[in-house]
Structure formats: structure tokens, C-alpha cells
């Protein structure tokens, strides 16, 4: 419990652990023309590179967990340390000073799936999955979107039919990040087609290695394959792995969605919405000889100001989450800010580079931005479209009337 160790002793404990395992960060300033010039919003790794990253992430996560820093605020009965949120913040602050392996493969499982399991699963399932998830023994993914129901989750068609103590799932999911290396998936299904759209939905926790599950990569226009489509052919799921009540999955899904937008809006999707940062954009303008152009300067300031405002908005929202409060519609503001800042950056880069953006001349820091520009449209869809986010902000934050139904 929190009264067994002071926060200063906890910090010292974290410092000793990290110093014994990894090197400290040193301040680095990237020199123009030196090192990699890659700028992207999405992972663009080969399957071999991806697998190596997953293995390194798992090994580090297990070491962190075994040292007592894996799930600092989690309930002790499920593998957590049971300490207040202030201790988690303290560890993050100490960890930021060290070079640690990327933990991207766990972003969805720990940021979205685990909180939903904790909130809605039965005790048996919590005990079976929460500790392995937080220790990095297994990885989770989210199976929500479908070919004809993206942001409109209430329109999903994947069916779950009860068969005794099991459910049989049949259908297709799309845009599933990390499905290719995940062990479990949180999935929303339709269990009663005769009820209104937001009713008749039920959530489950599904074994991604079960018979009938097929994962196929989706090639993006950036050239990578960060997402997948998942086909379900009579996949059997125990009723014990149902999350929440039958036909009441919409409320369960909202738990995941709010955590999803917190993760994406807080920069968990990569890139932070502004590519490599304003500094690199300024240096680009200088290299291209347009840094003194008043229009260019105004656009650079616009990118900086909006990115700074988004960062402070995110910090306030994340402080609320760390205080134990449930993410709310304000996370839709963060998600919307992320994509708008990405668009703002992409427009500026396009203006500055012109043909250099579409023709690879080998010049450092130019054509590499094409990956970023091509990735922005995908971010406008991930985690809910901009249009859906605006509706949420309008209705739940500003108190405007609901959008008229098309039916």
C-alpha cells in the first residue's frame, strides 16, 4: 500500500532500477542532413522489424513489472501495486530520463483493452488477463470498425449467436492495429438484430489464435501495412468472456472509446500531430531560403501555437485521468486537435517543398515528408472521424442539439 513507501523513496527505487538496466538520455539536437530524415505518423516496419520490436518490448515490460513498476496504480489482487496516481507520475518522470525500449505494441492493450476488462469483466477473467497484459506476456487489440460501419459503431453487422455456454462469432472487422501480433481482442458484436442500433450489441474478449480467426494486412497509401482486416468464421467464445450484460455492449464500448481517444489525442498514435516538431520546420524554411517570408513565418507560428495549445489541453485531460476520473468527451477535443494540427503541418510542408515532396531526388529532409503527408488522412479516421468528433464536442461539451437522424 501507499503508506509503506514514501514517494521520495519510490523515486529513488525507480532511479536505481532504471540506472541498472538502461542508459540515461542525453540532450540531442538533430543536425540537418545527419541521420534518418524519416517523418511519419504511422509505423512502417517490415514484419521482421516489427517482430523484433515486439520481443524487445515484451522483455522490457516484464523486467519493469517484476521490479514493481509495471502497473503502479493497479489493484493488488490483479497484479498491480496499489499505489496512488502520484506514484505513477513520479515513475514516468524518472523514466523519461532514460533510454527505454519502445512500448508501442502495448498501447492498445494497456490503454484501451485492460481498462475495459477491469471495468466490465467478471473476476475470473480479470485475474486471467490483467496481470499478463500488464506484464507484457500477452498483447491485446481492439476489434470495432467494420467495412460498412466505421465511426458508426452502432451499425455493425458482425453477429454473435449463443450456443449453450458459448457464443459463435461470424463477420469481418477492419482497420485493426496490431492484430497480427495480438493474443486477445476486444470485440463488439450484434446479438439482437431486431433491437434499435445502439441496443442489441454485446462485447466479448476473444482469443486471436482461436480457430476461425484470420488476420490479413492492409496496405496503406504510405506503403506500409500498420492495419489489418480480421475475418471471423464461426469463432467460439466462452460466455465467461463476455464484457458486460447481453445486448448492453454500447455502454461497455464507450469505456474503450474514451480511453482510445485519450491515447490517440495524447499523442499515443505517434507523431504528436506535428511531425518532427516546429524546430525542424523552421530549419527547413531556413534551408530553402524562405524563413523571412512573412506568409511562411505566419504559418510556422500557427503550427507552433496550435501544437502548444493542444499539448496543454492534453496535459489537463491526462491529469484528470491520472486522478482516477473517467475520460470524457474532452478527449474528442484532443483527438480533433491532433488531426487538425497534422493537416496544418502537412499543408505547410506541401507549400514549402512543392515538387520535392512527390519526387525523390535524394535530398535529405524533403521527400521523406511524403510519408507524413500521406498518413494524415488516415489519422482523420483513426479513433473516430473528425465529423464524429465535432458532433461529440458540439452535443456533449457545448450543449448543442443532437444532429438530426437520417432515418
pLDDT tens sequence across 16-49 = 999 999 999 887 666 788 888 888 777 777 788 8
Mean pLDDT taken over the chain: 87
Spatial separation of the C-alpha atoms in residues 187 and 249, rounded to whole Å: 10
User: Is the pLDDT at 9 greater than 70, yes or no?
Assistant: yes
Q: What does the DSSP 8-state code read for residue 215?
A: E
Rg over alpha carbons for the chain, rounded to the nearest Å, is 22
Flag whether pLDDT at 407 surpasses 60.
no
Sign of CA dihedral 89, 94, 99, 101: negative
User: CA dihedral in degrees (386, 389, 394, 399; nearest 10)?
Assistant: 180
Q: Tens digit of pLDDT for each residue in 191-202?
A: 998 888 788 999
Task: Summarize pLDDT for 334-380 with one digit per residue, the tens.
Answer: 888 889 999 999 999 999 999 999 999 999 999 999 989 998 888 88
Please give the full DSSP string across 156-168, using - where no structure is assigned: ---EEEEETTEEE
| CA torsion through residues 347, 308, 270, 316, sign | negative
- Residues near 281 by Cβ (< 8 Å), separated by ≥ 6? 275, 300, 303, 345, 348, 349, 352
Question: In this predicted model, what pLDDT tens digit does every residue of 88-117 receive, in sequence order?
Answer: 989 999 999 999 999 989 999 999 999 999
For residue range 65-80, list pLDDT tens digits in order.
999 999 999 999 999 9
| Residue 140 DSSP class | E
Domains recognised in the chain with CATH numbers: 140-250 (2.40.110.10), 269-397 (1.20.140.10)
Q: Where are the alpha helices (DSSP H) in 5-113?
A: 7-21, 47-66, 85-95, 107-108
**Pairwise CA distance, residues 279 & 291, whole Å:** 12
Q: Which residue among the candidates 50, 186, 260, 330 is catalytic per the annotation?
A: 260
CA distance 86 to 76: 17
Other residues' Cβ atoms within 10 Å of the Cβ of residue 308:
12
CB within 8 Å of 177: residues ≥ 6 apart? 108, 141, 142, 226, 227, 228
**What mean pLDDT comes out for the span 251-258?**
82
Write out the H or E segment, with its range, that includes residue 242.
Answer: strand 242-243
Determine whether 260 is an active site residue: yes
Amino acid at each position: 500500500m501507499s503508506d509503506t513507501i514514501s514517494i521520495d523513496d519510490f523515486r529513488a527505487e525507480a532511479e536505481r532500477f532504471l540506472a541498472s538496466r538502461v542508459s540515461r538520455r542525453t540532450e540531442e539536437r538533430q543536425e540537418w542532413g545527419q541521420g534518418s530524415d524519416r517523418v511519419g505518423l504511422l509505423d512502417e516496419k517490415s514484419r521482421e522489424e516489427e517482430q523484433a520490436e515486439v520481443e524487445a518490448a515484451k522483455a522490457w515490460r516484464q523486467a519493469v513489472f517484476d521490479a514493481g513498476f509495471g502497473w503502479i496504480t493497479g489493484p493488488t489482487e490483479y497484479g498491480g501495486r496499489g499505489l496512488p496516481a502520484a506514484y505513477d507520475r513520479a515513475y514516468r518522470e524518472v523514466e523519461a530520463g532514460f533510454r527505454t525500449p519502445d512500448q508501442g505494441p502495448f498501447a492498445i492493450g494497456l490503454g484501451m483493452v485492460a481498462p475495459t476488462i477491469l471495468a466490465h469483466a467478471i473476476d475470473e477473467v480479470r485475474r486471467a488477463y490483467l496481470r499478463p497484459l500488464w506484464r507484457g506476456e500477452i498483447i491485446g487489440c481492439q476489434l470495432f470498425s467494420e467495412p460498412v460501419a466505421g465511426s458508426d459503431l452502432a451499425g455493425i453487422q458482425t453477429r454473435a449467436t449463443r450456443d449453450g455456454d458459448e457464443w459463435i462469432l461470424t463477420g469481418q472487422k477492419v482497420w485493426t492495429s496490431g492484430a497480427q501480433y495480438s493474443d486477445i481482442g476486444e470485440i463488439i458484436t450484434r446479438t439482437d438484430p431486431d433491437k434499435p442500433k445502439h441496443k442489441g450489441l454485446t462485447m466479448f474478449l476473444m482469443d486471436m489464435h482461436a480457430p476461425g480467426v484470420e488476420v490479413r494486412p492492409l496496405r496503406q497509401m504510405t506503403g506500409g501495412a500498420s492495419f489489418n482486416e480480421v475475418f471471423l468464421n464461426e469463432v467460439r467464445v466462452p460466455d465467461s468472456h463476455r464484457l458486460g450484460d447481453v445486448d448492453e455492449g454500447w455502454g461497455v464500448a464507450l469505456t474503450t472509446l474514451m480511453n482510445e481517444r485519450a491515447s490517440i489525442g495524447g499523442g499515443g498514435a505517434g507523431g504528436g500531430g506535428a511531425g518532427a516538431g516546429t524546430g525542424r520546420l523552421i530549419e527547413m524554411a531556413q534551408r530553402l531560403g524562405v524563413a523571412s517570408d512573412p506568409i511562411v513565418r505566419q504559418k510556422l507560428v500557427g503550427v507552433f501555437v496550435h501544437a502548444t495549445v493542444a499539448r496543454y489541453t492534453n496535459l489537463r485531460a491526462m491529469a484528470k485521468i491520472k486522478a482516477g476520473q473517467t475520460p470524457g468527451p474532452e478527449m474528442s477535443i484532443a483527438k480533433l486537435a491532433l488531426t487538425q494540427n497534422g493537416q496544418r503541418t502537412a499543408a505547410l510542408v506541401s507549400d514549402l517543398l512543392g515538387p520535392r515532396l512527390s519526387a525523390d531526388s535524394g535530398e535529405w529532409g524533403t521527400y521523406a515528408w511524403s510519408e507524413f503527408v500521406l498518413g494524415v488522412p488516415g489519422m482523420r479516421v483513426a479513433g473516430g472521424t473528425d465529423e464524429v468528433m465535432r458532433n461529440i464536442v458540439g452535443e456533449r461539451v457545448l450543449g448543442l442539439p443532437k444532429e438530426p437522424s437520417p432515418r
